[in-house]
Structure 1
Amino acid sequence: MYMKKYPCVYMRGGTSKGIFFHEKDLPEDKTLWDEIFLKVMGTPDVKQIDGMGGTVSSTSKIAVISPSSREDADVDYNFFQVDIVIPRVDNSSNCGNLSSAVGPFAIDEGLVQAVEPITVVRVLNTNTNKIIEEHVRVKDGRAMVHGDEEIKGVPGTGSRIDMYFEKPAGSKTGKLFPTGNKKDIFDVPNYGSIEVTFIDCANPVVCFRAEDIGIQGTELVELNNNKDVMEHIERIRGMAAERAGFVENWEDARKTSTSIPKVAIISKPQDYVDMDGNEVKAEDMDMCVRAISVGKLHKACPMTVAVAIGSASKIEGTIINDIVKPDKDQDIIAFGHASGVTKVDVKLDGEEVIKGGVTRTARRIMDGYVYVRD
């Protein structure tokens, strides 16, 4: 029995890591990709011991990059979320954190000409058919790695990358609010009714208050061990998936729509200790959030969730706006997550989301070949 090898680059983007492939280096028959990606990550296996996966959703990701045929984009970026415990590859949504590595990858791989001091890379995310504009610092023809930008959830500092999600509304459903409502009441089987805001902005995200599921909203990884609460969350997520048409029955979402919708558990600003043991103060945030991704607490926050909750915070009638109550001209929304405080810059025209901006860092970790069993 032989092994096949594929050229690739292993990159960190924001608080995520993933394997980057040129589309030209993968089989033309895309029906073969899922099996390759499962083997690359070592799925299904909670340890992912026989692959490159890191046992959490943030480190079990694939990006496939190619030159774009669209005049308004430089490269196409196709994202794949590889599950860990079930043999599933989800291509239905984007990863905002990993997106930040696309610009540096495109520059270093010669897909975009490097222009000092900042190269603007326009990325078409093919999962959502939305443009992400990335401003990448460049020196000597390559994306810079060193810098003084710090992002919560990543040790040390790096070179700043400014990202703008352009017109992010309706990424999967075609609507900013998939149900047509800014608030909905879900009657959750065995748990009762709960008020939610379901917004599709960069990714579909279902949002609800921490107190409405019986938690404080400052919990960390111990939340994963609370089976009753996690089941409650999954049922809410499944009902949102059904309302959006991702699944026919809400029960199917845990197997066939594992990546979307995302979940944002919202609460008022609170003091807490983050995952690195640092004290986070209520006065430094506009809201507290705990994000759930692929059935687990996200150890920071997906950037697509940041854009969604930041946008919802500025739209009257959402449960997030009820909590944040931003000033009329306030564009910067700060939210406390499991690894600290992050800010999102959201521009709206009325209730139309023009763009959502975030700052990330990214770097190449290794390049070479990944080997998979034939």
Structure 2
Amino acid sequence: MSCHVMSCHVILLQSHVFMIFRPWFQFIDSDSFMKKSSFPIKIPLYYVRGGTSTGVVVLQKYLPEKRELKEEILRHIMGVPLLGTVKDNTQSHGLGRRVITSNKAFIIDIDDKSKKVISTFAQLEKDSNTISWEVNCGNMTSSIPLVIRGLPEEKLLMPDGRLNIYNTNTRKNILCSMANVSPEYQLTSIPGVIGDFPEVHVLFESPACSKTSSIFPTGNLIDIFNDIPLTCIDVVVPMIIINAKDLGITGYESVKEIENNTLLQEKILAIRSGMGKKMGIIKHDGKLMNEDDLKKSITQPKIAIIAPPVNGGDISIRYLTPKNVHSSVAVSGGCCLTAASCFSGTIASDIHYSRNGSDDNATVRIEHLSGISEFSIILDGENIAYAGAQRNAQILMEGEFFIYNPSNELERVMRNMCYG
């Protein structure tokens, strides 16, 4: 009797399950429903904040050599699409935070012979699988010394608190320095970050011509594009400087006011693609960027919308990265604007000229959405020897990121790396 009842219940249950879930099964692709099983890949990394940016630092020795496989790993880690685009991606399956300044990664290696860290920067975008290897990030660079201080190579690389870094994106050297009080840290605060954290000084050596052939790559201090005067400059990063009034705005707008201004965004896109081509900006592969490349680019050229200061600084900025408005200002952008102010006749020098004395050093206090940040330039005649700023940084977490659904190639390569 009990067996019969049980049998009846099973039949009814099967019937209900079929009736309830049948429409759902009609929309399931059999290949995607039958997911493969795989062993998770574990990637050791540091989840860090450098300045006003967050992201990850990964040692090259834990990654495959092939660029495409590195990119797959970074997409998994940050939680961006593996293919195509996903509108309004929440990045809930990764470490990214839905803003461009929190979708950054550094791959670092150690050159024992030169006693340098070799850094390669990757910029990701939350809604697409796009990864840019074109530029460097000064904010995130400030996190690298903290990572090195936790490695056995610390004494080799930074015995006096100074760390030499060679950046492959720009083929430039950077000097980072910290107070030599290991294992303790000297703490400081910066605009846009709450609290005091380890102080790091970032100094770019010979920072001009990072992606072009000249400090002023169009050959002019001022160009005119669609009746808008602007300065194209390449110091640490290629950037176009525009006075806010020439764009029909004040220069003191909020992030949303700028990003939601359709007419303004159309003007900026036209300027980026048109003037970017005249600047002769090169990609990571050494080829020149065309207008289509520039329109799609998530890293260059940057845009600086400037205005007179209102809070005790020297100059005010709204910094575009270039598709989004920065919550403060990038180290690279701040250094670039400071450099522009050193040359009479630029758009920047019309608001603030920083070489009123005979001193070869120039310091500019730049107002932005989060406060005021100070940037410095050391000149050698008409050449720029160094550009830099003080930042703070922190290691948020150190651990392993689990990748549960790697491609067949990535799984095979990583298995070979781990097990030979």
TM-score when normalising by structure 1: 0.89
Q: Which residue of structure 2 lines up, in the alignment, with residue 311 of structure 1?
A: 339
CA distance in 1, matches of 2:298, 2:158: 40
Q: Which residue of structure 2 lines up, in the alignment, with residue 16 of structure 1?
A: 53
Q: Deviations over 1:94-128 (max 9, x none)?
A: 01100111122122123331899951101111111
Q: Which residue of structure 1 lines up, in the alignment, with residue 365 of structure 2?
A: 334
Identity of aligned residues (%): 32
Counterpart selection for 1:344 from 372, 375, 389: 375
Q: Residue 51 of structure 1 aligns to a residue in which SS?
A: coil
Are residues 1:299 and 2:327 paired?
yes
Q: Residue 235 of structure 1 aligns to a residue in which SS?
A: helix
Q: Which residue of structure 2 lines up, in the alignment, with residue 48 of structure 1?
A: 91
Q: Which residue of structure 2 lines up, in the alignment, with residue 203 of structure 1?
A: 237
- Within-5 A mapping of 1:2-13: 2=38, 3-13=40-50
Counterpart selection for 1:106 from 137, 148, 152: 148
Query: 1:4: how far off?
Result: 1.8
Are residues 1:154 and 2:197 paired?
no
Q: Which residue of structure 2 lines up, in the alignment, with residue 277 of structure 1?
A: none
Q: Residue 348 of structure 1 aligns to a residue in which SS?
A: strand
Closer/same/farther in 2, CA of residues 181 and 110 from structure 1, 3 Å limit: farther
Q: Which residue of structure 2 lines up, in the alignment, with residue 259 of structure 1?
A: 299
Q: Which residue of structure 1 lines up, in the alignment, with residue 175 of structure 2?
A: 133
Q: Residue 217 of structure 2 aligns to a residue in which SS?
A: coil
Closer/same/farther in 2, CA of residues 117 and 126 from structure 1, 3 Å limit: closer
Q: Deviations over 1:287-309 (max 9, x none)?
A: 00010014111001110011111
Closer/same/farther in 2, CA of residues 129 and 215 from structure 1, 3 Å limit: same
1:136/1:143 contact within 8 Å kept: no
Closer/same/farther in 2, CA of residues 339 and 70 from structure 1, 3 Å limit: farther
CA distance in 2, matches of 1:195, 1:371: 50
Q: Residue 297 of structure 1 aligns to a residue in which SS?
A: coil
Are residues 1:36 and 2:73 paired?
yes
1:119/1:138 contact within 8 Å kept: yes
Q: Which has the larger radius of gyration?
A: 2
Are residues 1:360 and 2:391 paired?
yes
Q: Residue 228 of structure 1 aligns to a residue in which SS?
A: helix
Letter in 1 for 2:71: D
Q: Which residue of structure 2 lines up, in the alignment, with residue 88 of structure 1?
A: 130
Number of corresponding residues:
352
Are residues 1:229 and 2:264 paired?
yes
Query: 1:43: how far off?
Result: 1.3
CA distance in 2, matches of 1:360, 1:194: 34
Closer/same/farther in 2, CA of residues 239 and 69 from structure 1, 3 Å limit: farther
Q: Which residue of structure 1 lines up, in the alignment, with residue 17 of structure 2?
A: none
CA distance in 1, matches of 2:180, 2:48: 17
Aligned-residue CA RMSD (Å): 2.0
Query: 1:349: how far off?
Result: 2.1
Letter in 2 for 1:228: L
Q: Residue 108 of structure 1 aligns to a residue in which SS?
A: coil
Letter in 1 for 2:167: N
Closer/same/farther in 2, CA of residues 242 and 251 from structure 1, 3 Å limit: same
Q: Which residue of structure 1 lines up, in the alignment, with residue 213 of structure 2?
A: 174
CA distance in 2, matches of 1:92, 1:106: 24
Letter in 1 for 2:145: G
Q: Which residue of structure 2 lines up, in the alignment, with residue 322 of structure 1?
A: 350
Counterpart selection for 2:111 from 68, 93, 96: 68
Q: Residue 149 of structure 2 aligns to a residue in which SS?
A: helix
Q: Residue 38 of structure 1 aligns to a residue in which SS?
A: helix
Structure 1 or 2: more helix by fraction: 2
Query: 1:233: how far off?
Result: 1.5
CA distance in 2, matches of 1:90, 1:317: 33
2:174/2:204 contact within 8 Å kept: yes
1:9/1:366 contact within 8 Å kept: yes
Q: Deviations over 1:163-197 (max 9, x none)?
A: 2111100011131111111111123xxxxx21111
Closer/same/farther in 2, CA of residues 285 and 12 from structure 1, 3 Å limit: same
2:157/2:163 contact within 8 Å kept: no
Query: 1:336: how far off?
Result: 0.2
CA distance in 2, matches of 1:198, 1:154: 30
Moved more, 52-61 or 130-139: 130-139
Counterpart selection for 1:122 from 152, 161, 164: 164
Moved more, 307-316 or 37-46: 37-46
CA distance in 1, matches of 2:398, 2:145: 16
2:232/2:279 contact within 8 Å kept: no
CA distance in 1, matches of 2:323, 2:158: 42
Query: 1:93: how far off?
Result: 0.3
2:215/2:234 contact within 8 Å kept: yes
1:235/1:250 contact within 8 Å kept: no
CA distance in 2, matches of 1:13, 1:195: 34
Letter in 2 for 1:224: E
